[in-house]
Structure 1
Amino acid sequence: MPDRLHRRSARLSLLLCVVCGGAVMLGAMLFSEHEAKVRVADHEQLIGDDLVQSVDRILDSVSSRHRNELAALAGQPCSRVGATLADLETYLRYVRAVALVAGDRLYCSSALGAIDAPLSDYPLSAGSGDSIGLLAQTRYQPGVPVLVIFNRTAAGTGVLSIVEGDYLADALAHGVRYGAQIASISVADSGRINARGSFRTASAPLTAYTTRVASRKWPFSILVSSSEGFVSGMHWKYRIAGLAVGLLLDGLIAAGYLLMFAPRRLLLNAVRQALRRNEFHVVYQPIVDTATRAPVGVEALLRWEHPKWGAINPASFMGEVESSDMLGPVTQFVMRTAVAEMGLRPAAIPLRIAVNVAPRDLQRKGFVAQVEALTAQLPAGVTLVLELTERFLLGESAHTSAIFSALKARGVRFAIDDFGTQHSNLDLLGRFQFDYVKIDRQFVGQVDNGGTELVRGIVSVARHYGLKVIAEGVETESQHAALLEAQVPFAQGYLYQRPMPAERFATLRRTEEIS
């Protein structure tokens, strides 16, 4: 049955690898298509921005040059100001003619002199400033599109400037040269003029355009669509790139399957066999009172003695164990062994037995019942301490809090391990019912170089929450002295004792009791 399960797991892993490879390739191609569309849109936006600036410059020039002089002529008789109007028009760039407006009629033109035409012939955009509009033609020059700018100089008077559509077409032609299939200027409700100088009404369909860029100064927009050659080239470029990336990622997935999935199965199988063959054992590192250096507890540490490879470092297999179904049996082995070995030697009874607990342990069904059963076997005066790293407690859950409450009621104590590393969060000390804070060895190692203040800070924070501090990794007398000065009550490390079997710890405790 186990072999069948292993084969099924292998087939499942291979299937997962194939599915992931296909999904990656599909995702790479979809992403490449998306990126191509984004690049085309960015290119059109860039062209549109450039064309908007060009047309803005034309309109700004027409609107601002000799504005006051022209405004002073509006409302005066054409016979008196016609010559001045014609003279001023020669200084205006882009302008074919300028007309003066009184009431709702044009009455004087720089090109034709006295005229009489309704202002309503020139559809203009609504706005607080100058108004503009596009026309397919004027009554005085049929078939030639123009843009008109109307400056209301005072109540009942104004100046109407007529800009040749060819100037706009020339500006739009720059966009076509930079990869646009078509480019047009559009004024709402009056129509649009394209790069060929052709006029289209406002009701004409806009399906040929894919990007609209509005001017921030004037009430017009630039409509742009990229050329088919540019769009096709961009899509092929990103398809090739997407295919290359997809193949690379698929290769990495295949390599990852070979390097990770297969060895992981072999490793977990070896752990399973090691439990059956009693290759695991537990050693204990004393936790001492820093004032007297007398042992007050132990931390139970798992060790693996392989018959062929010898001692195997827990760091090389516990990461995989913690993310697998082997976590429960391994954690239970450590707790059960520690409780049994310490309980058999009353002379060496420690005050605390500390056991490391992984994140998934708290989620395992039956975990609380297992711990409660073990605490019932502890001799009087012995406390089980579960050590948890802070990184997985950041997302508080009602389930985790319930486990804390249930086990605390049975006398179990909790320690937050590696405090200060990775995802430090002081709020954890208030949200969870911890009893001890363990200072990580990296901070203990810094006290030789003036890092005592940080340790004092952690001690102060722990004291605020009613917690006791344990320093890990103490290796020198100077570190011990600094911890003692910082009022750290408990410590462990090679300076005091290396991890040892239960028999040696019992001897150590008897020696302490005799002395």
Structure 2
Amino acid sequence: MRRWLWGEPGQSAGRRAALLAALLGACLALWLIALLATHDARERVAGVSSAVRDNLEFALADTLGVAYQDRALVGAPCHSVARQLQEQGAYTAYVRDVVLVSRGMRYCSAVRGEIAVPLSELLNWQPGLQYRLARPYRGSNTALAVFFGTAPGNGVLVWVEGRYLADMVHSAGKLGFPDIGIEVAGTRFMLNAGDLAAGEAAAAAGSPTLVRRDAAQAAARGIVDIRRLEGHPIAVIASAPRSLVLHESLKYLVLLPLTAGFAALAVFALHSRRAARRSFAAELQRGLRRGEFIPYYQPVVDLESKLCTGVEVLARWEHPRRGLLEPEQFIPAIEQQRLAVALTLDLIPRVLRDLESLVLPPAFHLAFNITSEHFDDVGFWADDAPLFALLRANITPVLEITERDAVSLVEHQRSAIQRAKARGIKLAVDDFGTGYCGLAYFKQFEVDFLKLDRIFVQADQDDKVSGQIVDVTLNFAHALDLAVVAEGIECEAQRAQLAGKGVRLGQGYYFARPMMLAALRDWLPAHLERVTPPPGPRGEVSGVAERT
């Protein structure tokens, strides 16, 4: 493990970061699991208490219906109404007994017939509804007494079956493992199960009961949910131990490895990507130091005569491991690392050495691509900079400004560019119409060339939009006295069409692909205007063939 964490310097940091991310992800997962499990446990307890409350409300609705119906029987002799009370109790599922009360005495019971028991032994008379949890008579189980007081001392007392209440609580408790209590008028009663075994034994005996919970047990612990019955001084209280949260968390434990693994992979991938960028940046700098970047040349030709008027210098990278890399594989990284000026300054001496072996016509154009970084570099425009060595070689440098960069010049930059143009440097706007803001360049620079992007050159003849853009661009260039160079010409039809519209210069695979010096040396003699080279020291004429 230690070797894995502290082994290879290039990867150990990423591994440590991934491990830290995994730990943080695991902590986040544990927090989320605890949150979800607590929510589910609360929902489970709430579901149980809600179920008991709903059942109790249903039972009370029937009970109150009986009480309201029998209020007219209060005061009648017991022998005349006893049968009616018995039938009512038999046909109402939740009712254990119906008792008539007159002058403070319970005098007629549906179960026991004529009785004489003071009401005060159960409760004090009050008008309206009163509720008690008590035993209907000695030796019976606890039941819910609902008393409906009518006239003073008179009323109807309905007993809700205690077994029904106990079964309701017991069944709900089985579903959710909580303790269920019913609180009536401030007194709470629990299932007769101090432990689970007692509750199961009571259920097996067929007579679960409700018993009074003592004051020491009055406060429910753990997860508690209280549901009150609307319009009644009755509440259902469900509670469960905190261990229910652990039970609920089991179904979410899969989140722990998933979150930790995802966090570790994401951080490791991000770290690896950054490390790769840093490594690639280091390779770029090493490549510049070792001279691994070489110039390729793509000719620019006159569309009418098809003779070469110049070349564009394009960089290629002879990577020691990956072979020859095209510009799109490294130029974005070059610009991101602000190595564009270093690359240009590395290529210029190589280009000068290459062109020494060629006889070129006067003012032969040699184009380099530049970015906003070149304008920020004071040394690139200095009077003794390598850029101006091209002028001394009877070559006209053309600097192609790419539109993908927003260039905003300050005064000293404008002055440096004006001095460079005064000495013979030409400027061109590359990929016109596809980049940042081409028109702004013509205001900042004294542009000499406009390069029409290949997407317009290679458009279908039926593409009226591209055709109109080409026409507008040519009119714009003509108005500013700019030479237009068409990029990406790949067939004779494109050449002829552009030449017919007045485009003078072009480049593309139809004429020549980018090539190394050896290929350019073979290609140029047939595509240069014949020139008469100066006589040699003994009067000999040095031709292109002799120089190559």
Q: TM-score, normalised by structure 1?
A: 0.53
Q: Give the match's secondary structure for 2:181.
A: strand
Residues 429-444 of structure 1 mapped to structure 2, 5 A cutoff: none
Larger Cα-atom Rg: 2
Residues 93-492 of structure 1 mapped to structure 2, 5 A cutoff: 93-99=93-99, 109-111=108-110, 116-118=118-120, 121=123, 133=131, 135-138=132-135, 140-141=137-138, 144-149=141-146, 159-187=156-184, 189-194=186-191, 196=193, 197-200=210-213, 204-214=217-227, 217=230, 219=232, 220-226=234-240, 233-235=247-249, 238-239=252-253, 241=254, 244-245=257-258, 248-249=261-262, 252=265, 256=269, 260=273, 262-274=275-287, 305-308=317-320, 309-312=323-326, 314=328, 318=332, 327=336, 329=338, 334-337=371-374, 354-356=403-405, 374=413, 377=416, 475-477=458-460, 480-482=463-465
Q: Give the match's secondary structure for 2:404.
A: strand
* 1:8 to 1:145, Cα distance in 2 relative to 1, 3 A: same
Query: Using the alignment, how far apart are the partners of 1:272 and 1:45 within structure 2?
Result: 67
- What does the per-residue CA deviation read over 1:324-378, in whole Å, with 9 as the maximum and x for residues that have no partner? xx8362588831348989999999799x852347xxxxxxxxx98x877656655
Unpaired runs of 5+ residues, structure 1, are: 1-6, 284-301, 358-366, 391-407, 414-469, 501-507
Amino acid at match of 1:191: R
* 1:260 to 1:514, Cα distance in 2 relative to 1, 3 A: closer
Amino acid at match of 2:96: R
1:122 and 1:148 in contact (8 A); partners too: no
Amino acid at match of 2:317: E
- What does the per-residue CA deviation read over 1:63-115, in whole Å, with 9 as the maximum and x for residues that have no partner? 34x565335x26x4242774344442332222223345789x67665345565
* 1:207 to 1:311, Cα distance in 2 relative to 1, 3 A: same
Query: Using the alignment, how far apart are the partners of 2:150 and 2:434 within structure 1?
Result: 79
Q: Give the match's secondary structure for 1:186.
A: strand
Q: Give the match's secondary structure for 2:463.
A: helix
Q: Give the match's secondary structure for 2:20.
A: helix
**In percent, how many aligned pairs have the same letter?**
15
Query: Using the alignment, how far apart are the partners of 1:159 and 1:218 within structure 2?
Result: 19
Query: Using the alignment, how far apart are the partners of 2:470 and 2:151 within structure 1?
Result: 85
Unpaired runs of 5+ residues, structure 2, are: 1-7, 194-209, 297-313, 343-370, 382-386, 422-426, 446-451, 475-484, 491-497, 507-548
Q: TM-score, normalised by structure 2?
A: 0.50
* 1:490 to 1:19, Cα distance in 2 relative to 1, 3 A: farther
Query: What number of residue pairs does the alignment pair up?
Result: 385
* 1:156 to 1:260, Cα distance in 2 relative to 1, 3 A: farther
Query: Using the alignment, how far apart are the partners of 2:331 and 2:98 within structure 1?
Result: 87
Displacement of 1:481 in angstroms is 0.8
Amino acid at match of 2:164: Y
* 1:35 to 1:174, Cα distance in 2 relative to 1, 3 A: same
Q: Give the match's secondary structure for 1:206.
A: coil
Query: Using the alignment, how far apart are the partners of 1:214 and 1:389 within structure 2?
Result: 68
Q: Give the match's secondary structure for 1:77.
A: coil
Query: Using the alignment, how far apart are the partners of 2:96 and 2:315 within structure 1?
Result: 94
1:21 and 1:253 in contact (8 A); partners too: no
